[in-house]
Structure 1
Amino acid sequence: MRRYLFPLLAFCLCACSGQAVFPEPPPRPPSYHLQAPAKAPLTAITDRLVRGRTGQTGVYPVTSAQNALSVRLAAIRAARRSIDIQYFLFRRDETGLLLTRALIRAADRGVRVRFLLDDFTTGDADRVLVALDRHRNIQIRLFNPFPHKSLRALEFFTDFARLQRRMHNKSFTVDNRVTFIGGRNLSNQYFGIDRDLNFGDLDMLAIGAVVPDISRQFDRYWNSPYSFPVQSVIDYRPVPDADLAFAEDLERNASTLLASDYGRNLASSPVIDALSDDANLWYWSDTRALYDPPGKVAQPPAAGRQFAGRELMEKITAARRELIVISPYMLPGEHYLQQLIDAAQSGVEVHILTNSLASSDVLLVHGAYRKYRRPLLRAGIHLYELSSELKYKQDNWNGESRSLLHAKAFVVDRNTLYVGSFNLDNRSILLNTELGLLIDSPQLAGEVAENFIRNVGDNAWRLELRGEQIVWHRADGKRHSTDPGTSWWQRLGSVVSGWLPIEPLL
């Protein structure tokens, strides 16, 4: 999100932006999640898998970018009653259009589709959203919309107090039976085929007890006063034959993508059949949906407010033996920095993985993060930065694209695992709304922790403090005394941006 925020200029303007005033939406009929028919494929599959596990949730981690798209497409094909989608970002690119085609096909056979999208980055997807909304079984709403009457940047800066507050939740729920929760958005960058960037990310595919709660949180956002019908926001009316042209565009895109090696592998993914047949592949536990109310965006930022971020941070800082933090953006603020330091000094083994300067997509964020490195290292915290040089990838089908960390996960004492949209920063804690799963599974949490400890040295730089000098180490013995894989100009930019008092906006 940060690469879209223009925080330098925003800082200059936010002082005069005043109290946020949210517009009233036009009249909209409320709607709520639907139950799948008794004979729907996902009903039969999930009933069989959850049998004898009343009150438990089954989760399966989806780390592969290609599998993440494959299982979503399979779920859409299996849908019989409803699909509810809630995301921060959706792009009109190859994977975005392939998902669009699948959603239209589901709607054609009578499935109700509700798509709630934050309006911050709609951009080139505007016309796709309007086209989708024209289908009788598809409804599109935009969360906290821009006026769409002038340049986006101008609108952002003239209404900064409202428009900087975004819905960062990510959920994809089909027939109220299966749901995807995690960090991925819907675009090529998250599914392994972007030409420039590849975001290493993590989803949890969930079935069982937690799914209705995810559906209820979707209803809260969908019916909230911050969600507007797309036609009331985007002033675009398709010309005659536009629907036909759009359908032809979808088919051309699908034909090209599905005929590629990437597309053929989508169809042959072994994950779908295996998960449908074998309950032992799932991790069964007490799992809770942890999410902010939509009204958080209208509340003045205050560290004492009882939002999901505060509850999550209390869970994290209550670790007694070991804490693993995986966060693309690492800006804990003075309060939670001290909490992490206190944990380490009390004997907790603290490991943190975040982006390096070379793998970061936002120079300004890295500049603000720099000041935390030395205090963390002095406290004995194990700090790692993802190495783009080492090509950490999950089936990245465009080998030249740069790999970045985008997964958000926390492991507490190898008993509890959090996976969702929450970054360890001020924006997630105080400004944006977030959604994730809190999974009480020693088996899964232990496996994630073991995998992290075993592999982090091969995929990231380990930072060490020698005097006041930071040294970067990697598993093959190489060392650097400056940020690895960066130019002098990048390092200067990071230093200079770290002097700016803009961290509360990042």
Structure 2
Amino acid sequence: MRTTTWTFRRILKWACVGLLGLIVGLPTVLYLAFLGIQEASERQWLGKAPTHEAIDVRSREPHPVALLDVGFDSLAARMRMIEEAKESIELEFFIYEIDTASRLVTQALARKAQQGVRVRILVDFALPIFKLAPQYAETLKAAGVEVRYYNTAGMARFFASNHRTHRKLLVVDRQKAIIGGRNIANDYFDLSEAYNFLDSDMLIHGPIVGAIADSFELYWRSDWVARPEDVAASVALGAGQGLLGGASPQEEALAAELRQHQPQHQLSTCNDIHFVTDYPGSGVERRKVFLEISRLVQEARQQIMVESPYLVLRDDGMALLRGVVQRGVKLQFLTNSLHSTDAYYTVASLAHSLDMLKMPNLEVWAYQGSPLASGLRPSASRRWGVHAKRAVFDDHTVVVGTYNMDPRSANLNSELIVVCRNNAFLARTMIEDMQARMAQSRAIVGTADAGGLDALTEGADDEAISRMRRIAPIANWLDFLM
């Protein structure tokens, strides 16, 4: 009897040990397998890099250009461009909201379509932020506006579903374009009463706009694009007015103000302009923008100023920074504090990197969330955040586009940039605007009074800080998705 009891206890003991090993070991095995899969996916090379004549185009013909640093200015410029269209209008965006700004833009597009202008909208299908549902697309089609969706892959295709088009462009008649950080929504045009973005676009006139239009055509016809009628109408329509229909008195007043508004920008001439975009589809061999930005960074000799809503750097990004500052190049970043963004997961990743960012010649500044003191119109909201994706190199070369300083832009998303070389006026304009934003920021790394984590989280409420801390382990684990 004693032998039987001892044997039973021994079996039970080893069963418990095995169960414990399974509980601990299986997640570990799955985690390692996941890391292997994501690394293979992120670093995959599917063969020769695809090419297209509109992916990388550089022109030394004179191009009138201007920065649109004020949201309301950018909306006024877009409405004016749409109104002046004669033949074609192309729009591509990551987010196309259903709100006042999108109603004004969409109604203007429908009017031009009824006048015989070909109007096409390509919008990303990322479900967490997707709003332009098939029901809306059907209404737009009846008004003469064509709509297509980029990448309708579901979460069952995990890595494919994480590839998005993050490109943002408006092209009119292949002659004028606006590219930059703004989507179509109130908070990009200074109209939200809750929260608004400090952003930047570039207005471009000239031959290179044809290449931007050709890149839209490449995406429009790619295998990653679906027609709304081929997509299940599973996105519920929100309450309230749709995109078309009668405008409210407030919208009519806003439209009249936009028609009269004179944007606060000045045209200059870019005699060396360069358009670079990623090729449609997932796979790092299709990413072109990161390579061009890396070249510009390595060519810099004196100073680089960068503005990005996120600053998430992996080992290769850190190595690139070390190489820059070791050459004596001064590097300044402007990004968001926890108070000025809802993306607490990216702030958690930045917080984890603070010690690694303590390098000579490197400063990191966090915007503190208040309206700009220099705003020309009354602020619609009390809380603002950085959303511009731009840089100045050596006081003469500027970059404006959709590329964030994070692994997602480098390895997963389709992005675009425009580079204007040797335009001191444009560079000075951008520097002055960035300095105005930095004046309402706090240094977190690189200055004598840098506040570190305290400066990064200053002004944030307890719940935001708690969320940041809770997400930190996952953010560090899944930094390639940040």
Structure 1 residues 448 and 270, CA, compared in 2 at 3 Å: closer, same or farther? closer
Closer, same or farther: CA 235–463 of 1 in aligned 2, 3 Å: closer
Cα 1:362–1:282 change in 2 (3 A) is: same
Q: Give the one of 287, 303, 312 matched to 1:322.
A: 303
SS in 2 for 1:294: coil
Secondary structure in 2 matching 1:424:
coil
Residue type of the alignment partner of 1:116: L
Q: Aligned runs of 1:199-278 on 2, under 5 Å?
A: 199-235=197-233, 250-253=245-248, 255-259=249-253, 262-271=254-263
What is the CA-CA distance between 1:258 and the residue it aligns to? Answer: 2.4
What aligned pairs does 1:26-105 form with structure 2 within 5 A after superposition? 55-105=61-111
Matching residue's letter, 1:215: A
What is the alpha-carbon distance in structure 2 between the residues aligned to residue 168 and residue 196 of structure 1?
Answer: 24
Deviations 1:420-454, CA, capped at 9 Å, x for gaps: 00001100010000011011133245314541574
Structural RMSD (CA): 3.2
2:465 match: 491
Kept after mapping to 1: 8 A contact 2:442/2:455: no
Once the two structures are TM-superposed, the CA of residue 332 in structure 1 deviates from its matched residue by: 2.4
Deviation string 1:335-381 (CA, Å, 9 cap, x unpaired) is 12122122123211111101111112211111011122232233331
Aligned-residue offset at 1:413 = 1.1
Partner of 1:195: 193
Task: Show the counterpart of 1:36.
Answer: none
C-alpha deviations, 1:223-259, integer Å up to 9, x for none? Answer: 11111112211448xxxxxxxx968x53234x42122
2:44 alignment partner in structure 1: none
- Shift, 1:98, TM fit: 1.0
What amino acid is the match of 1:373?
L
Secondary structure of the residue aligned to 2:272 is strand
The amino acid that maps onto 1:117 is: V
1:319, distance to aligned residue in structure 2 (A): 1.2
Q: Shift in Å at residue 89 of structure 1?
A: 0.6
CA contact (8 A) 2:333 2:363 kept: yes
The residue aligned with 1:356 is 337
Partner of 1:281: 267
Unaligned runs of 5+ in 1: 1-10, 21-32, 34-52, 147-154, 237-244, 474-479
**C-alpha separation in 2, matches of 1:124 and 1:481:** 35
Alignment of structure 1 residues 156-167 onto 2, 5 Å? 156=155, 158-167=156-165
Matches within 5 A, 1:2-13: none
Structure 1 CA distance for aligned equivalents of residues 359 and 313 of structure 2: 16
Question: Alpha-carbon deviation of 1:264?
Answer: 4.1
SS in 2 for 1:139: strand
Could you say if the C-alpha distance between residues 293 and 54 of structure 1 is closer, same or farther in structure 2, counting changes exceeding 3 Å?
Answer: closer
State the aligned residue count. 427
| Alpha carbons of structure 1 residues 332 and 310: separation in structure 2 relative to 1, 3 Å | farther
1:139-150 to structure 2, matched below 5 A, reads 139-146=146-153
1:169-188 correspondence to structure 2 within 5 Å: 169-188=167-186
Residue identity (%): 23
Q: Distance in 2 between matches of 1:362 and 1:498?
A: 12
Aligned counterparts of 1:168 and 1:193: Cα–Cα separation in 2: 22
Task: Supply the AA of the counterpart residue of 1:485.
Answer: G
What is the letter of the counterpart of residue 502 of structure 1? L
Q: Name the residue aligned to 1:424.
A: 405
Give 3-state SS (helix, strand or coil) of 2:148's partner: strand
Question: 1: CA distance between counterparts of 2:242 and 2:306?
Answer: 43
Contact 1:283-1:441 at 8 Å conserved across structures: no
Which of residues 327, 346, 362 is equivalent to 1:346? 327
Question: Which residue number corresponds to residue 503 of structure 1?
Answer: 479
Report how far residue 263 of structure 1 moved: 4.1
* Matched residue, 1:436: 417
SS in 2 for 1:330: coil
Q: State the 1:382 CA deviation.
A: 1.6
- SS of 2:457's partner is coil
SS of match in other structure, 1:341: helix
Aligned mate of 2:293, from 312, 324, 336: 312
Question: What are the within-5 Å matches in structure 2 for residues 325-474 of structure 1?
Answer: 325-389=306-370, 391=372, 399-448=380-429, 450-451=431-432, 454-464=435-445, 471=451
Query: Which stretches in structure 2 are left out of the alignment for 5+ residues?
Result: 1-30, 42-53, 235-240
Q: Secondary structure at the match of 1:288?
A: strand
| Structure 1 residues 78 and 456: CA distance shift in structure 2, 3 A | closer
In 1, Cα distance between the equivalents of 2:221 and 2:467? 43
1:290 partnered with 2:276: yes
In 1, the alpha carbon distance for the partners of 2:287 and 2:104 equals: 39
Closer/same/farther in 2, CA of residues 90 and 482 from structure 1, 3 Å limit: closer
In the alignment, residue 471 of structure 2 is paired with which amino acid? S
Write the deviation string for residues 202-238 of structure 1: whole angstroms up to 9, x where unpaired.
Answer: 11010012101101111110111111112211448xx
Task: Work out whether residues 371 and 384 of structure 2, in 8 Å CA contact, stay in contact via their aligned partners in 1.
Answer: no
